[in-house]
Structure 1
Amino acid sequence: MPTLHWQKSSYSSEGNNCLELATTPDGTLCFRESDDPAITLTLTPSGLHSLLAASRREIPNGS
């Protein structure tokens, strides 16, 4: 895997609790949490779209 250029939101503080994003040459998106950079989540753009769509859905209250 090529060396990735990790970016974080300009809204992030200087601390280690940020989500960072990098894009590979083939367009794959890589995410990591700045306080544990060894663990990454790799998604295609359509996979990210599905993840965001699922996170926006209302989750019924199970109680």
Structure 2
Amino acid sequence: MSEIQWQEPFCGNSGNACIQIGHTADGTPILRETTRPRELVVTTSDALRNFIEAAKRGELDHLL
């Protein structure tokens, strides 16, 4: 996999449950948990956008 450009982690209030979002040189989105940096979730821009939009609408609240 090509070099990944990571954003600063999103850690919330607890500070120990952090998620990072990055992308490869070709724009492929990748997510990881900072406590497990070798385990990557590779997705598409459309799938990530749909996930974020669903979360913003509250459709994933039942998972928390």
TM-score, normalised via structure 1 length: 0.64
- How many correspondences in the alignment? 58
Structure 1 consecutive aligned stretches of length 4 or more whose deviation exceeds 4 Å:
none
Structure 1: gaps spanning 5 or more residues: none
Between the aligned residues of both structures, percent identity stands at 31
RMSD: 2.8
Rounded Cα–Cα distance in structure 1 between residues aligned with 2:20 and 2:11: 10
CA positional deviation for 1:57: 4.2
Q: Are 2:21 and 1:27 equivalent residues in the alignment?
A: no
Structure 2: gaps spanning 5 or more residues: none
Rounded Cα–Cα distance in structure 2 between residues aligned with 1:57 and 1:40: 25
TM-score, normalised via structure 2 length: 0.63
Please state which structure has a larger fraction of its residues in helix. Answer: 2
